Amino acid sequence: MKSRKNLNAAMRKPEILEGYYNVLIREGLENASISKIAKELGIHTSLIFHYFQSKENLTFELVRLMIEKFKSVHLLSFEHIEDPQQRYRALLDLIFSLQWSRTVDPGVHFGFYYQSFRDQRTLEHLREMFAWLRDYLEGQLKVFNEHGIIKVGNPRMAADYIVTLMEGMEFHAQFLAEDQPFENFAGGVKASVHQLLTSGAF
């Protein structure tokens, strides 16, 4: 049985991380502070230091939480599909959806991307996240290949390409969309990927 101390940590740490996440959405990574997080949650700053010791550790833990959200939030609703053709269509619909793209607030997501150029731990964890996604997609593409749904000679390269396009859709939404709905461009990207996967381009 977990001790009371461990139970308190299990309850408190996610609450603090969620508060930090909300502050990041409003303030950005550069303006977020322990005191603002404490104010957000109505707690004393010493409690945050007790569990995380520093803002750097707090940020590191939030990156890890973000990775777990990408791994679990949506794929759990996808895994039950057994028919390969339906699974293929459902996967494309999922990964090129606004719901997937906003699993984590884009300002927070790219704030960590920015930090990865200066912090080795953040870089390593983002690499882990994207490598996991690439490897997962590669595995799915191999299955679809075996069932004759797509025609891909290099599933690893195809998966790299798809992950890159998925990330690029947020850049498009921020800088090039000109107030057009996210789904408009995402639908075109999804159709292009389907064409490439089924034409033997990879």
Q: Which residue has the higher pLDDT, 45 or 72?
A: 45
The verdict on residue 59 lying in a domain is no
The verdict on residue 181 lying in a domain is yes
Could you read off the pLDDT of 76-95 as tens digits, one per residue? 667 788 899 999 999 999 99
Residue count (the chain): 202
Residue labelled with tokens 């090129």? 96
pLDDT attached to residue 186: 95
Structure tokens at 103: 């699993």
CATH code for the domain of 150: 1.10.357.10
Q: CA torsion sign, 124 to 125 to 129 to 132?
A: positive
Residues 80, 117: one domain?
yes
- Number of domains the chain contains: 2
Could you read off the pLDDT of 174-199 as tens digits, one per residue? 999 998 999 999 999 999 999 999 99
Global pTM reads 0.83
The verdict on residue 62 lying in a domain is no
Could you read off the pLDDT of 122-177 as tens digits, one per residue? 898 889 889 988 999 999 999 999 999 999 999 999 999 999 999 999 999 999 99
Structural domain range at position 18:
4-53
Structure tokens at 174: 């921020």
Burial 101-129 (b: 16+ CB within 10 A, else e): bebbebebbbbbeebbeebeebbebbeeb
pLDDT attached to residue 1: 40
Amino acid at site 157: M
As a whole number of angstroms, the distance between CA 145 and CA 160 comes to 16
DSSP assignment of 156-195 equals HHHHHHHHHHHHHHHHHHHHT-TT--HHHHHHHHHHHHHH
**Can you say how many angstroms the Cα of residue 97 is from the centroid of all Cα atoms in its chain?**
13
